[in-house]
Structure 1
Amino acid sequence: MATTERGSAEERVAAIHDAGVERVRVHFTDLIGVSRNKVVPVSMLDEICEDGINFCISAFCVDHAGEIVEGTGLGAEVDFRDANVRPDLSTLAIVPWERATAIAVGDVYFDGDLLSASPRQLLKRAVDELEQRGFRAVAGHELEFFLLRPGPHGSGYEQYAKQPGLVYTLSPSVDTEGVLREMEDAVRAMGLPYVGSNQEYFGSQWEINLRYDDALKAADDAHLFKLAVKEIAAQHGLVATFMGKPIQELGTSGYHLHLSMWDGAGEPAFHDPAAGDGLSEVCRWFIAGQLEHGRGMTAIMAPTINAYKRFLAQAFGPWNVTWGHDNRTVYVRIPRERGTATRIENRAGDGTANAYLASAAALFAGLDGIDRQLDPGDPVSGVSYELEDKPLMPFSLGEALDALEADAYFKEALGAQFVRAFVAMKRSEVARFQSAVTDWELNEYVNVL
């Protein structure tokens, strides 16, 4: 079952006062995964919890370049009015790397109602839908990232630690300045359920793992974890990136989302000891839902231009929409543990995905599989990349957006407001990339043509 309990709101407020906190960062996540916030003095916390704090709704329309994207339905169409964020005190935590500061994640309201396009609200709705069917959703977020050092005079990035061949090693020989140790300590001090860390396959590629929990709390934890990693790196003059493939010569980083269900009696709904493979019918239906909507939810799981290089690399990222037992080349991997640890692992994401949106998408997909009692077919074994009779992943963000818009169930489940805004934001991103002149083009053509 879920393992951690949030302290009560009263306990958390008392803790920040006892620690001498002077200010609170009230955060919300936008559609592209950026954590936006306002800072208020701690003396205003009660007032902010009651009345919220206003910001322009167009913050949901701002792209990676800082420009407001047209056509989202959340900008000029609503006169750039104010939205309102009210902190959820169950997320209140002290920020260890910033003096006298606490942080809380909030819920977004617009015109008096919860904003349906808000990623956190979408996840809450998915969780509620499953609860109506007697299931409690539990999630674990497994995120990989690179730690990079900006090159001189803006000349790109280089690895923080370059030693190759030291996968599953974490010591001063690879963490030469102790930055990873500082991140571990900060994550633990925030109260996030840290369970372990290691270097991944490439130098300066890391994974810090958090324990699973109820789906909303696990997404809150993942959101705060990514924030901690990026901000601590910045304090050291480094850049932590969750991009799928940030350096040409190196490999890719993934975002593996582990999901399980628990029934009303507190038993693991995905486990059936009488089944040959230990998987219940509910689990098989849930897997089938992932496959049914695998292409449709890829734009949410892999929401950047760069993310699709991970699929094309055929390096433990999915190439086709398949499932298998303890197989790292498939879309849905079933780890070998059973009993209370029975779960599915959706391997489509990279770390640029929004934790709330990725969770909501996967849960809505599984929900459809359960409601329609879909059959996932037989699991695949061996290297799934060699199979020619399985549906392929989208191999570009544009193709993934086409798949999202073609998935009628997914569009309805996610809601018209979210789909309109998200697709407009991402279509704009694709168009900006298509019109950009890249270093590759210059290196390929300038001297020879």
Structure 2
Amino acid sequence: MNQQEILKLIEGHPHHKLKVAVTDIDGVLRGKFMHKDKFLSAVKSGFGFCDVVFGWDMNDALYEDMAIEATGWHSGFPDAEARLDVSTFRQVPWENHVPFVLGDFSKHDGEDFPACPRSLLKKIIAKAEGMGFQPLFSQEFEWFNFAENNSILEERGFTNPKPYTPGMFGYSLLRASENSDYFHDLFDLLTEFGVPLEGLHTETGPGVFEAAIQYSDILEAADRAVLFKTGVKEIAYKHGIMASFMAKQTADLPGCSGHVHQSLWDADKKRNLFFDSAHQDQISEVMRQYIAGQLFCLPYILPMLAPTVNSYKRLVEGAWAPTTLTWGVDNRTVALRALPLGEKSSRIETRVVGSDVNPYLAMAACLASGIYGIEKRLKLDTQQTVGNGYKDLQNGVLPSNLLEATDYMKSSDVANELFGEAFVDHFTKTRIWEWKEYSKHVSDWEIKRYFEII
């Protein structure tokens, strides 16, 4: 449907209200119900949304030091101008098909609001399109499911949650059949919600699932990924389940990925520019430059791919997540997995990304760093890794924690060039805040280790 058809549908919709939402810096949806008359007016002129959504963290604690000048006690937390994107229209099938529309922020003069993740991605897309590229992306997620009630689990301090299914049973048709109501609802309701899945299966680990979302234009892919995470949680609640997208639930099990698949096509989307039958491994020069760009930029953009303290507990050797700055063909131990699978399917999988990521920022980071390599005509001098990527140190290793990664990004001219100084300043301050909040906390490990013996 075009915009006029969507607006006409909304105008005549039996619901008199809609859900509208934006994402904060952590990728958490922040929204409200809006009367459809207000919505139809807001489509034309925008509407005010309190800019505190960029002045507090995921637990609504106010940041100490923010770069976005309008956000803070000093300004009284005014409204920022939000714009609704009618093309994101969906209906929520598990809520009686109430209409749903995503939006993003812009300044009153029409410029992008520097802290808005979706606006940042749109800015990177515009640059790619200006270079003659049409990016097609998709994301896949692993996540844990628990047979828990959020109120009861919170009372227990989120300790010892009960897995939805027992045992280590990846790709299990038995477990999928045992829990077929939930499985079918995930696949069918998400598709009806405009988030079509390519595949859904159990992953190794108790109660772990994995889903791959169908590929699309990059902005639609990011919208789908954001809506997938909240959609899964809402569908899970209907089944008495809590879904968790933490990157690392426990030291005893692998972490949860959010791998981003990406390719560049020509302006008409008829030719995959990552494929070249005449080149070695059918990897085109464009794809080689794109890989070189990501490898070069990864240390300076890592917080956008691994945004929490917990993210780095996943990026450890032997846990199906990369630790080195490496690439290889169909190699699951490297940071960048090249998949030269023919004219239609040739792509790159960035395996650093965890399930706890903000999809808008992850895809912006992947695309910006990739086209940086093309723009700078970087040579892929690093040899591809054959075998164990954990042992291939030829190009160095990834930063090992959120503070180290944020320091790299904060002092990087590369990050400023890719995303702009205002975004980098704001985003890195939010990551430093996250690290400080973590550092204040006394963990169970510390108590067990030091309480008596020390």
The answer as to whether partners of 1:174 and 1:203 remain within 8 angstroms in 2 is no
1:380 has 2:385 as partner: yes
Please state how far the C-alpha of 1:425 moved relative to its aligned partner: 1.1
Over 3 Å counting, the alpha-carbon distance change for 1:186 and 1:100 in structure 2 is closer
How far apart in 1 are the matches of 2:339 and 2:386? 13
Partner of 2:104: 107
The aligned length equals 443
How far apart in 1 are the matches of 2:436 and 2:48? 31
How far apart in 1 are the matches of 2:169 and 2:10? 40
Partner of 1:4: none
Partner of 1:229: 232
1:303 has 2:303 as partner: no
Residue of 173, 196, 199 corresponding to 1:196 = 199
4+ residue runs over 4 A deviation: 14-19, 170-175
Please state how far the C-alpha of 1:417 moved relative to its aligned partner: 1.8
1:390 has 2:390 as partner: no
Letter in 2 for 1:160: P
How far apart in 2 are the matches of 1:94 and 1:147? 25
Deviations 1:365-423 (A, max 9, x none): 01110011111222111001112333111110001101112321222221122112111
Partner of 2:213: 210
Write out aligned runs for 1:235-314 (5 A). Answer: 235-264=238-267, 266-314=270-318
Residue of 168, 180, 184 corresponding to 2:183 = 180
Partner of 1:366: 370
Identical positions, percent? 31
Structure 1 unaligned spans of 5+: 1-6
Letter in 1 for 2:414: Y
Residue of 79, 84, 91 corresponding to 2:81 = 84
The answer as to whether partners of 1:22 and 1:101 remain within 8 angstroms in 2 is no
Deviations 1:88-144 (A, max 9, x none): 111010011213522111121233423133111111111111111111111011111
Report the more deviating stretch, 99-108 or 424-433: 99-108
> Normalising by the residue count of structure 2, what TM-score does the alignment of the two structures yield?
0.92
How far apart in 1 are the matches of 2:408 and 2:248? 23
Partner of 1:3: none
How far apart in 2 are the matches of 1:353 and 1:88? 22
Over 3 Å counting, the alpha-carbon distance change for 1:65 and 1:313 in structure 2 is farther
The answer as to whether partners of 1:323 and 1:333 remain within 8 angstroms in 2 is yes
Residue of 420, 437, 446 corresponding to 1:441 = 446
SS in structure 2 of the partner of residue 340 of structure 1: coil
Partner of 2:156: 154
Report the more deviating stretch, 64-73 or 13-22: 13-22
1:73 has 2:76 as partner: no
CA RMSD of aligned residues (A): 2.0
How far apart in 1 are the matches of 2:179 and 2:193? 24
Report the more deviating stretch, 64-73 or 341-350: 64-73
Please state how far the C-alpha of 1:170 moved relative to its aligned partner: 4.3
How far apart in 1 are the matches of 2:190 and 2:209? 14
SS in structure 2 of the partner of residue 24 of structure 1: strand
The answer as to whether partners of 2:410 and 2:425 remain within 8 angstroms in 1 is no
How far apart in 2 are the matches of 1:239 and 1:291? 36
How far apart in 1 are the matches of 2:342 and 2:8? 40
SS in structure 2 of the partner of residue 158 of structure 1: coil
Please state how far the C-alpha of 1:233 moved relative to its aligned partner: 2.1
Partner of 1:401: 406
Letter in 2 for 1:363: L
> Normalising by the residue count of structure 1, what TM-score does the alignment of the two structures yield?
0.93
Residue of 41, 44, 54 corresponding to 2:48 = 54
Over 3 Å counting, the alpha-carbon distance change for 1:172 and 1:347 in structure 2 is closer
The answer as to whether partners of 2:328 and 2:385 remain within 8 angstroms in 1 is yes
SS in structure 2 of the partner of residue 274 of structure 1: coil
The answer as to whether partners of 2:198 and 2:214 remain within 8 angstroms in 1 is yes
How far apart in 2 are the matches of 1:193 and 1:142? 12
How far apart in 2 are the matches of 1:312 and 1:402? 20
Structure 2 unaligned spans of 5+: none
How far apart in 2 are the matches of 1:19 and 1:81? 32
The answer as to whether partners of 1:149 and 1:238 remain within 8 angstroms in 2 is yes
How far apart in 2 are the matches of 1:170 and 1:51? 50
How far apart in 1 are the matches of 2:86 and 2:96? 20
Report the more deviating stretch, 373-382 or 153-162: 153-162
The answer as to whether partners of 2:283 and 2:340 remain within 8 angstroms in 1 is no
Please state how far the C-alpha of 1:20 moved relative to its aligned partner: 2.5
How far apart in 2 are the matches of 1:253 and 1:313? 14
How far apart in 2 are the matches of 1:300 and 1:175? 37
Report the more deviating stretch, 90-99 or 166-175: 166-175
Please state how far the C-alpha of 1:241 moved relative to its aligned partner: 1.4
How far apart in 2 are the matches of 1:17 and 1:313? 54
1:424 has 2:432 as partner: no
